[in-house]
Amino acid sequence: AGWARPAAQGWPEAMGLERPLWQRDAHQLSVGQQQRVAAARALIGQPALVIADEPTSALDEDRRDAFLDLLLSACATPRSALVLVSHDRRIAQRFGRQVLLPSINRAARPDEAVAA
């Protein structure tokens, strides 16, 4: 589509990826750069739902914070829902709702089972 090229070119730059990196194969990029490329790809077209699994794990603190600022802003504009999974508890306060893994992984007791 005609809108895809400008959007595709704007996101890598916004993610802090210098233009010379845009032509490289993925295996030539660092893990952090690969994560930012994946995030840029995911945001093209203003999706209704963005699922991000450990998107900041390979980023230093400054890049992590800048990335989260951009991601949250990118999701707020079109009102995209964001589900972000992270082991980094330092970023939890940036989100309106947090769910800890133990509460998800807890098996339901028989008395909590829902009747069919």
CB 47 within 8 A of CB 76: no
pLDDT digits (tens, 9 = 90+) for 35-65: 878 888 888 888 999 999 998 888 889 889 9
Asked if residues 21 and 13 have their Cβ atoms less than 8 Å apart, the reply is: no
- C-alpha span between 65 and 60 (Å, rounded): 9
Q: Is the dihedral of CA 10, 11, 15, 21 positive or negative?
A: negative
- Cα–Cα distance, 14 to 67 (Å, whole number): 9
pLDDT in tens, the chain (116 residues): 454 556 666 777 777 788 888 888 888 988 888 887 888 888 888 899 999 999 888 888 988 998 899 889 888 988 999 999 999 989 999 998 988 877 777 655 455 555 44
pLDDT at 116: 44
